[in-house]
Amino acid sequence: MRNKPYIWGGGHGSFYDRGYDCSGTVSFALHGAGAIGSPMPSTDLRRYGERGRGRWFTIYSRNGHTFAVIAGLRLDTTDFQNGGNSGPRWHADIRDTGGYVARHPAGM
């Protein structure tokens, strides 16, 4: 998924798509970890797994956006430094999580 563009609804028909939106990106990562079998929209990710931050994998979700922090790196489709949506990218900086619900896969 690296260097794929942001496409609204991308990653929901199939994990392997020509572009990804925010929840498609997080779903792809969860699938790669063996945690889910089909893509999930942001509303479902807000209720997925267990409450709170995980040791290795945390999903942050709210109405309209979701991202993940995996092993200390943020996987997000929003690129604040370059002015908006850029598609799935890894970021070393951690964004503000105010207003987001934190969830994590069991055991992660």
pLDDT single digits (tens) 48-104? 999 999 999 999 999 889 999 999 999 999 865 555 657 899 999 888 999 999 999
- Is the residue at 34 inside a domain? no
Q: Tell me what pLDDT residue 86 has.
A: 79
State the pLDDT at residue 83: 58
Residue 9: burial class (beta carbons within 10 Å; 0-12, 13-18, 19+) = middle
**Tally of domains in the chain:** 1
Model confidence pLDDT, tens digit, residues 20-59:
999 999 999 999 999 999 999 999 999 999 999 999 999 9
pLDDT of 81 reads 57
pLDDT, residue 3, reads 82
Is residue 24 situated within a structural domain? Answer: no
What b/e string do you get for 14-42 counting C-beta neighbours within 10 Å, with b at 16 or more? ebebebbbbbbbbbbbbbeeebbeebbbb
Q: Which pLDDT does position 35 carry in this prediction? A: 96
Asked if the structure places residue 35 within a domain, the reply is no
Q: Which domain holds residue 58?
A: 42-104
- The answer as to whether 13 is a domain residue is no
> Could you tell me if 4 and 11 are in contact, meaning their C-beta atoms sit under 8 angstroms apart?
no
Asked, for residue 93, whether it belongs to a domain, the answer is yes
pLDDT at 78: 83
Q: Which residue has the higher pLDDT, 60 or 14?
A: 60
User: Other CB atoms closer than 10 Å to residue 76's CB: what's the count?
Assistant: 26
- Does the residue 56 lie in any domain? yes
Whether 53 is covered by a domain: the verdict is: yes
Residue 94: predicted pLDDT: 84
Per DSSP, what are the bridge partners of residue 101? Answer: 61
